[in-house]
Structure 1
Amino acid sequence: MTVSDTGLDHTAPSLPHRPPPSAPHHGTAERGARWITAGAVAVGVLNYGYALVLTRLLDVRAFSVFAAGQRVVLAAASVALVALPWVLAQALARAGSEAERGGAIRFTAALGLVSGLVAAGVVALIAGQFAGPATTLMLALATLLMYVTTTTLGWLQGTERLRTLACITVGEAALKFAAGVLLVAVVGLSDTGAVAALGICVLPLVVCWPYRAHAARTVRRPRTRVHRDLGRRVRGIAAVQAMVALVASVDVVLVALLPVADADAASYQASAMLGRVPLFLAGAISTAFFPALSRRGDTNSLTASAVRMYLVIALPVSAVCATVPSAVIGVLFPAEYARMSALLAFAAVSGCAVGALNLAATFSQAVDDFRCVRTQAVGLVLCVAAPLLGWQAGGIIGLAAGSVCGTVPAAALLVGRQMRRRGIGFLARPALLEPLLITAVLIAVRPAPLIWLAVATLAGVRTAARFLGHRGTPPADPNARPAKAAAPHPTAPDGDAARVLRDALWTGTPPPATDDTLRRALTLARRNQVEGHLARAYPEQLADTLAAAESATRDFRDNLAEATDRLRAHGVPAVLIKGDPAGVYTYDNFDLVVPAAQWQDAQQALSGWAVRRETYWLERSTKVLLRPPRGPAAHLHSAVSWFGVPVISADRLLAQAAPDPSCGCLLPEEAAALRIWLAHALFQNLTLNLSELLALRPLLRPDVIARARRHAAREGWQSGFLAALGVATAAVERLDDGDAVPLPVTLPVPVSLRAGAEHARHLAGRGAGRTAAREAALRLPLVVTKTLRGGRS
């Protein structure tokens, strides 16, 4: 490849022998979602059965106290049931050693005890306003026990033992049912016995506590930093989840505090329990998807799969709940609950909205986006004000309508934030026709309870079948579509060769291959700049290629060390970009970025080493190629730029670079490396080959993505960064799942054009009008040239 062909050349990273533990798998998340959701359904049946039995065992006043108390406990515990276990699950998903895992478990256990004591005190203060001393004490103890046992939940979730987690949660609900009925009906403890069961039911979590994992020894040196990071995430997730809990419970707490008739309050509480089913379904799906989302971060294909799973089950459930006939309510509930017939429709809409809000909050928590609390705070204000205004205008019915007017905008605000950050693709393509048809039929047959029961049963069976058979096909996401739908290159080798290359390099398990298949795989490997890696996987069959690759790698390391030694002797720092000193290197140049003010000094420092100096006319002011007598040449850059248009300044790159002990040069930090790889694909090659995907794979972590995104926004190409990130992430996920991916992966033409326009506007706004004009003038010819040449470098 020539200078005029490629502009900025690069080196491939070292090849991992197996997929990193951070690689998500849609199948694991979706299977886990089915188990957790099935468990949630079973828990819901047991919980609603428990509530239904209590409506018969308790008078309306005692039931209202029990319902309000349970809601307060769940509101307080929902923070614990997400913040603490989810932080532990995230830490376990991202941990690189047993020591890190053990430290995270101990930290979560200690924090659970301390925060449980605080939460128990808060619950006691609130419950004291509507419950007696004994009931208040039981509510406080139940809250403390729920906090203490959250470590087990996080450990099971983080290790993705989701089937075990589902079984334990079902066991909790069954134990609560049995204990509560025994304490109320046999012992005669009324509402005090009913709420005491909330604490008794967590005993299975004590049995399954991760004692062995807790005993793992931790490394002393990074403990403070690790705990500080865990504490930051606990605070962030707790704040986000607290807002979700407040939105979900504010109306039922208001009902308990306002001067509402006992029968109306009980009807509202029971309606809210039924209407909040989508919230628990969303929580189940969030629990299953959270570890995978935490490992990979901003992935539209994963979020779209979660959204589709939620809509498949939540919309029909809400439709059934909203249309329950009065005769059915009369059979299930005592006469005092007659107002439920008018309240259930509002509760169903509100519950569906709160479930959507919960799912959107999960997406933010997975990528450590805790600033969404501000948006949630606005929604919470609406959820408090609207029910109060509704109560003033129309009593209990007005309060229910006000709850809808608060929760729906609150959910819309958070979903809108996700759309602005991710694009419309994260929503998938919601299949609304079938739920709307089910709703229309249920409304039509509502006057005939038996027919309604038959239709509702069929709708439930149909929904269960769709949910259990769901497969996470990625949505029509403009970011992800290129990787999923890119056409193979005209000279692409056959499937056997592609499979050999994928298995040998991506999974580290080279399959047996004939010489003919390897020859075709080697052709594909050269197009993807990984021929040295393939030769290492088949050292006997590709002995000549391996010998050439090892010779080129030795020359690269020698030349890199000599060049950086000379630069360092002249006081010029240099950052090696798109290269790995420990990797296989088969290219004829490497790239070093030096400070713009020292660019001439750097050339002078290498004048005795290079025998030839070359420049490309479009980049003569920002790049020079210095060729030594033997081995790869050195590309000196005054910035990370393409065709003379700087994207990442050398000063910013140098400020965060770290020295590499093996060669003496500096290497960019992870967020900078991620931006460089994606910018090269976006502004230069319009493709991502396998060597680049291998380099990107370990960088696709939420913390790295968040830092890189912030820097890309300051550099004026945030939208282009997100688009290229979507293409790269989709390709990595497909390779992780074992799918066939045409390589190199092609970026769509509009993405590159929009990125060029976005960056040009940024440069013009910064006063770099000539550079902006250069960017705008060169973008279209570059795209046309690359497209006509098939995107090849």
Structure 2
Amino acid sequence: MIAAERVAERSRVLQDEVTAVLGARWIATSVVVVGALNYAYTLVLTRLLDVSGYATFAAGQGLVVCTAAVAVVTVPWMLAQALARARSDAERGEAVRFAVVTAVVGGTVAAGVVGVVAMEFASTPTTLVIAGSTLAVYVTRVSAGWLQGTERLRTLAVLITAEAALKFGVGLFFVSALGLGETGALAAFGIAVLPYVFFRPRRFRDGRHRTWRAVSVDRDLWRRAGGVASLQGVVAVLAAVDIVLVAMLPTDRAAAASYQAAVMLGRVPLFLAGAVSIAFLPALSRRRAGDPLTAGALRMYVTAALPLTVVAATVPGAVLTRVFPSGYETVATLMACTATSGLALGALVLLVTFAQAVNDYACLRTLLAGLALYVTALVSGWVTGGVLGMAIGGLCGTTAALALLAARHARRHGFGLAEQPFGRMVIPVLVLVGGLVLLHPYPVAWFTAALAVTAAALWRFFGLRREAPAPVEGPEPDGGASPRPAAEPVADRRRERSSDRRPYWTPDGHDGRTAGRPGAPSVVDGERPAPLLVDAVWRGRLRPARDEELLAALAEARRNQVEGRLARAYPRQLAATLTEVELATGLFRRNLVESTDRLRAAGIPTVLIKADLAGDYVYGNFDLVVPPGRLRAAQAALDGWYAHRTTYWLERSTKVLLEPPSGPAAHLHGSVSWFGVPVVPTERLFDRAERPASTDGRGDGCAWLTPCPSDRLRIWLAHALFQNLSLDLSELLALRPLLRPEVLAEARDEAAREGWCTGGRQALAAATEAMARLDRGESVPLPLPLPVRTSLRAGAEHSGHLLVEGRVRAATREASLRIPLVMTKRLRRRVP
């Protein structure tokens, strides 16, 4: 039992890290795009503005970014945490009101302070623009917190990217077309946040009339808001004080602009640290201080930030002169200091995040001491050596502040660095530094090497998968007993060369006649070992597995919703997971019965889609389709059963999520559609639906229907084509028994009638090819991504069909949404 608890705890730690890494990659993807747009914006403005105008713009941008850094973390984080902990609509409404009032009051104060500072270096119109942009950024952060609190991180990432793109376009239009100079470039900051208005929090009905002035008196909310604002305020000052200071000091404007440009290029690690902090903060907040998850966050940051810092610090002057115009000659000299200080500043941001996660706001004193050292070093450096001395002083001051905070954190909390291979990075980093320094006199060779290093760093951060540890010899799990295989092996499929010998909708020539049958032949013995998850879940083969290998397989199984099958294959080592899955499945069946019984009593039939009643169910909601025009009546019938109601803005007229106090939610669909575009006709779905056996074995006990086999096949494929752009292992398992000639032929005819036959055939081809590879024990990326061209073709084919049928609105909606949705989905990186 102790071993099972230890495995369960390690599984929870790993799952927390996996979830955080996924979120970090989403946010980091948007940060990379935003960083590229911001750098492009900055570089273009160096050519559109004169040196004096650019210095004013950079100082104003520094002020906006400095104050926005406080708003970006304080208001959203506080609101997201309050929404996650709220147990009623009244508490959610209270949290939203508190966030709105805090954002408006804080934004007004911040705008006033920024305006006073901006008057020292900017004209009156420019000062007003800087203050107004600051207020706009503060107010719209409430929408960001709403998205984060409702776990719509992908939407948040896309919105962050859209903000940067809008700023880029509007700013260039104001500067180049209208001739507004630095004032127009700064006005774009306030205009770019307007899309957040469309994602403002919805109103909660709590039975009481409450005004926005009725701010919560919850001391914990005020203490948390004050603590976060204080910490992030000091961090923001650390990040921006040198940019503002160099614009205010009596120094050469060209030298000041060069310093500001060098700082902007050297702050890439700061953006990476921000992405890691946003993603890891929720998981860190659920765990104790010094947890190994802390080391995971540090490792993810250092993996990408360290190589990028080395590249920035060693960039030759010949490369920078091709990027910057004349007047920025000293950028190359300053880059070594500004890039290294950027790395230290990013690490300091992570340390502050670790402190926030455990409510350690007392570190503010240490942080203030570090700020004092930093400002002193900046001023001393400027007095001693001008702009170059300021860069050196900034490096020394940042390093000193980081050392102070790191020493305090290590003494109080630790870093969870046990069993973390940080020492292995020392030699590669030294080799990297030495190699780029040696190539410094040769710009072309340096550029080639730097490009390779940057690509490798980003690949490790965004796309590298962990390989499962190799199995070790040992006793059979569970004492040599052979548990029930999780799934029957799939037969090898023959390829028929003549087109008249295979069904039309059977992709890539696979016959499909033996697919999924219990007597299908298996793969011969003696082949190379397959991944543990594939062996145990897909092929039903068990082999000894140590804890580390099993935990890695469990993390992959959770991403593919087959953790129950894996746990049944290793019931002793994954006893806690097995109990968790059985509990989740029991809650699913209970909630399904309760909700459908209520709907049947109200005279509303339902069809359960995308669910296997014979297996496990670990997803967060289950999907029920109601007849056309009965969606509102279905919601009314479930009043009192659910505690919270949620809709997605793109599907608010066709879908609603009803969350009970415990267990999975009921996802009601007015039609089988994705993003408001109908795919499978609801009337035919109900006409062909079947009554399943009840969960207790009685044939007449179920209050719901299930789709016929060909409808089930098309719904799985349509869900992959029009929504997820992928098929996970549980979906491949659900598709496998449906690959029968008669089902394929009927599904082909129905898909042709619905207008997406070609896309469905290509998706099925990708699925069956993956199944054949899994049968052979070959490595397959799971979840299996569908080619982008397949989804784009399916969207074009289906929208054209809708247009021919005269459904212009649905066709226009699909055509306008397809490319953005495909791009958004492809931004998601699969977690290792």
- Is the pair's TM-score, using the shorter chain for normalization, greater than 0.5? yes
Query: Cα RMSD between the aligned structures?
Result: 3.0
The residue aligned with 1:503 is 578
Match of 1:445 among 416, 421, 439: 439
- What is the CA-CA distance between 1:507 and the residue it aligns to? 6.5
Alignment of 1:595-634 (within 5 A): none
Contact kept, 8 Å, 1:73 with 1:139, in 2: the verdict is yes
- Report the AA paired with residue 18 of structure 2: G
Equivalence for 2:428: 434
Equivalences for 1:328-347 in 2 at 5 Å? Answer: 328-347=319-338
Change (3 A) 1:283 1:29: same
Tell me whether 1:177 sits opposite 2:168 in the alignment: yes
Equivalent residue number for residue 785 of structure 2: none
Contact 2:547–2:573, Cα closer than 8 Å, also in 1 = no
Q: State how far apart, in whole Å, the 1-side matches of 2:253 and 2:582 are.
A: 63
Q: Kindly indicate whether residue 344 of structure 2 is the aligned counterpart of residue 350 of structure 1.
A: no
Displacement after TM superposition at 1:204 (Å): 1.4
Corresponding residue of 1:35: 26
CA contact (8 A) 1:93 1:295 kept: no
Aligned to 1:296: 287
The residue number in structure 2 matching 1:308 is 299
Q: Which amino acid aligns with 1:444?
A: L
What is the one-letter code of the residue matched to 1:273?
A: M
Deviation for aligned residue 1:280 = 1.1
Give a deviation string over 1:541-578, Cα, whole Å, max 9, x none. xxxxxxxxxxxxxxxxxxxxxxxxxxxxxxxxxxxxxx
Alignment of 1:167-206 (within 5 A): 167-206=158-197
* Residue of structure 2 in register with 1:641 after alignment: none
CA distance in 1 between partners of 2:136 and 2:466 (Å) = 37
Q: Which residue of 2 aligns with 1:634?
A: none
> Residue 126 of structure 1: SS of its match in structure 2?
helix
User: Take 1:116 and 1:320, find their aligned partners in 2: how far apart are those partners?
Assistant: 37
Q: Amino acid of the residue matched to residue 168 of structure 1?
A: L
How many Å apart are 1:494 and its aligned residue? 9.2
1:391 equivalenced with 2:385 (yes/no): no
Letter in 2 for 1:365: Q
Is contact 1:278-1:351 (8 Å) kept? yes
- Structure 2: state its 5+ residue gaps: 1-11, 469-545, 552-567, 588-832
Gaps of 5+ in 1: 1-20, 475-482, 513-793
Pick closer, same or farther for the CA change 1:216–1:294 going to 2, 3 Å.
farther
Task: State the alpha-carbon separation in 2 of the partners of residues 144 and 83 from structure 1.
Answer: 14
* Structural mapping, 1:600-679, within 5 Å: none
State the shift of 1:401 in Å: 0.2
Report if aligned partners of 1:117, 1:144 keep a CA contact under 8 Å in 2.
Answer: yes
Contact 2:262–2:331 (CA under 8 A) maintained in structure 1: yes
How far apart are residue 39 of structure 1 and its match? 0.8
Residues 294 and 96 (structure 1 numbering): CA distance in 2 closer, same or farther, change over 3 Å? farther
Q: Residues 487 and 154 from structure 1, CA distance in 2 versus in 1: closer, same or farther, beyond 3 angstroms?
A: closer
CA distances 1:659-708 after superposition (whole Å, capped 9, x unpaired) = xxxxxxxxxxxxxxxxxxxxxxxxxxxxxxxxxxxxxxxxxxxxxxxxxx
1:22 and 1:103 mapped to 2: Cα distance? Answer: 32
Alignment of structure 1 residues 62-461 onto 2, 5 Å: 62-212=53-203, 227-298=218-289, 300-426=291-417, 428-430=420-422, 431-461=425-455
* Residue 484 of structure 1: how far off its partner (Å): 8.0
When residues 131 and 330 of structure 1 are mapped into structure 2, their CA distance, relative to the original with a 3 A threshold, is same
SS for the counterpart of 1:496 is coil
Contact 1:124–1:136 (CA under 8 A) maintained in structure 2: yes
Q: TM-score, normalised by structure 1?
A: 0.57
* Distance (Å, rounded) in 2 between the aligned partners of 1:508 and 1:215: 32
Distance in 2 of aligned mates of 1:320 and 1:289:
26
Say which SS state the counterpart of residue 416 (structure 2) adopts: helix
C-alpha displacement of 1:96: 3.2
Task: Say how many residue pairs are matched.
Answer: 478
> Any conservation in 1 of the 2:104–2:138 contact (CA below 8 Å)?
yes
Distance 1:47 1:107 in 2: 32
Give me the whole-angstrom Cα distance separating, in 1, the residues matched to 2:223 and 2:14: 24
Q: Measure the CA separation in 2 of the matches of 1:256 and 1:121.
A: 20
Structure 1 runs of 4+ aligned residues shifted over 4 Å read 21-24, 214-220, 223-226, 470-474, 483-488
TM-superposed CA distance for 1:305, in Å, is: 1.2
TM-score (norm 2): 0.54
- Which residue of structure 2 lines up, in the alignment, with residue 774 of structure 1? none
How far is 1:92 from its partner? 2.4
Change in 2 beyond 3 A, CA 1:401/1:509: same
Give percent identity, aligned residues only: 48
Q: Who is 2:35 aligned against?
A: 44
For residues 354 and 107 of structure 2, the distance between their equivalents in structure 1, rounded to whole angstroms, comes to 26
The higher-RCO structure (CA 8 Å, 6+ apart) is 1
Instruction: List per-residue Cα deviations over 1:686-741 (Å, max 9, x = no partner).
Output: xxxxxxxxxxxxxxxxxxxxxxxxxxxxxxxxxxxxxxxxxxxxxxxxxxxxxxxx
Superposed CA deviations along residues 557-601 of structure 1, whole A, max 9, x for unmatched, are xxxxxxxxxxxxxxxxxxxxxxxxxxxxxxxxxxxxxxxxxxxxx
Task: Tell me if the contact between 1:183 and 1:193 (Cα under 8 Å) persists in the aligned partners.
Answer: yes
Per-residue deviation, 1:389: 0.8
Distance 2:290 2:570 in 1: 27
CA gap 1:411/1:504 in 2 versus in 1, 3 angstroms: same
C-alpha distance in 2, partners of 1:362/1:447?
40
Tell me how far 1:160 sits from its aligned partner. 3.0
The within-5 A match list for 1:525-544 is none
Q: Secondary structure at the match of 1:296?
A: coil
User: How much does 1:470 deviate?
Assistant: 5.3
Q: CA deviation at 1:87?
A: 1.1
Q: Residue 472 of structure 1: CA displacement?
A: 8.8
Cα 1:187–1:386 shift into 2, 3 Å: same
SS of residue in 2 equivalent to 1:425: coil
> 1:108-143, CA deviations, whole angstroms, 9 ceiling, x for partnerless residues?
011101111111000000000000001000000000
Q: Does 1:465 align with 2:465?
A: no
Q: 2 CA distance for matches of 1:72 and 1:507?
A: 54
- Residues 424, 115 of structure 1: alpha-carbon distance in 2 compared, 3 angstrom cutoff: closer
Deviation at 1:320, TM superposition (A): 1.1
Shift of 1:226: 6.3
Q: Give 1:93 shift.
A: 3.0
- Write the distance in 2 (CA, Å) between the matches of 1:186 and 1:496: 68
Task: Kindly state the Cα deviation for residue 248 of structure 1 after the two structures are TM-superposed.
Answer: 1.1
Distance 2:208 2:393 in 1: 51
Task: Tell me the residue number matched to 2:50.
Answer: 59
2:263, 2:338 within 8 Å by CA — same for their partners in 1? yes
Deviation at 1:335, TM superposition (A): 1.4
Matched residue of 1:508: which SS?
A: helix
